[in-house]
Amino acid sequence: PTDEAQVCALIQASANAECFVDADAAFSQACRAAESDGRSVSDKVVQFYIMACARSGEATRALEVFEEHFSDALSDRKRMRSRPAFVAVMNSFGRRGQVEETERLEQRALSSGMPWSIEMLNAKLKACRESGDPDAALRCYATAAAAHNAFPDNVTVKLLLDTCGRAGRLTEALLIYEAAEQAGFVPDPLTVNSLIRHYCATNQAARAFEVYEAAGKRGAPSPNLLTLTALSESCSVASAAARTADGRKMWMSRSLSLYTAGQALLSERSSLNYEGSPPRG
């Protein structure tokens, strides 16, 4: 295809299907077509290709293409045409766990005049998670908070929870979440699941249930089965540890209601009717 939208769709579909060679071929064909017409390949096609490189683990290739097509646009404050592509390059190195490289790229962008964004921090945190370095993650977050008054988004919180949780340092990440919560942060459904499970893992059933209850009041979707099960078990443990009869009753009631919700979710899945499915037996 020669149409820009079709080329972008083909590149993205190839990357999603883990067929980077097809994405690469589509981009090369688009470059040749543009050259034969005496023009440059469009920024949009380049951005989609760089994102395909990032998704496919081709970090070096992503940086090469960025240097060729966008390096002179880093300080373009008006159009900011290079920012999505640059963040994709940072993410590609983040997926490799290369913390120092993501930091170097961020510094290069800032030195060139590109405004800081939360996506830059998240790319660095992704590198920290992949390299298993909670110290670097907490340092990156503290630096961003001090230098850019960073306020976490859901990706930030999840990355901090994952990184610190794997290292047995959940408390530090949860404190960051709680400070953000006090300042108005609202977790999305994925983060709600993560928060509940992590609070359960640190034996904080009350906080886990608060997150669950608050999400329900906002009309958020029910947590997944794994989360409901973890919270039900945590409430059951809290019931056994309660010092009063009323406390035991409250926690056991919560545990049973969560167990019932989990069973309802399981039943809903098992009763799905797929039209045209072959008869059993």
Residues in the chain: 281
- Residue 20 tokens, joined: 């980077």
The residue type of 54 is: A
pLDDT at 211: 96
pLDDT at 277: 52
pTM above 0.95, yes or no: no
Q: How far apart are CA 126 and CA 136, in angstroms?
A: 11
pLDDT at 256: 96
Place of tokens 């977050």: 141
- Residue 222 tokens, joined: 């029910």
pLDDT at 70: 82
Mean pLDDT in consecutive groups of 10 residues from the start of the chain, 281 residues: 86 93 94 90 91 92 90 59 86 95 94 90 97 97 96 96 93 94 95 96 95 94 94 96 96 96 84 52 45
pLDDT at 84: 85
pLDDT in tens, 86-111: 899 999 999 999 999 999 999 998 88
**Helices (DSSP H) in 112-153: which residue ranges?**
118-131, 134-148
pLDDT in tens, 195-235: 999 999 999 999 999 999 999 999 999 999 999 999 999 99
Q: Is the dihedral of CA 118, 122, 128, 134 positive or negative?
A: positive
pLDDT at 80: 61
For 271, phi and psi rounded to 5 degrees?
-95, 5
Closest CA to 60 of 45, 71, 69, 50: 50
pLDDT at 78: 41
- Residue 266 tokens, joined: 């399981």
Burial category of 37 from C-beta neighbours within 10 Å (exposed 0-12, middle 13-18, buried 19 and up)? exposed
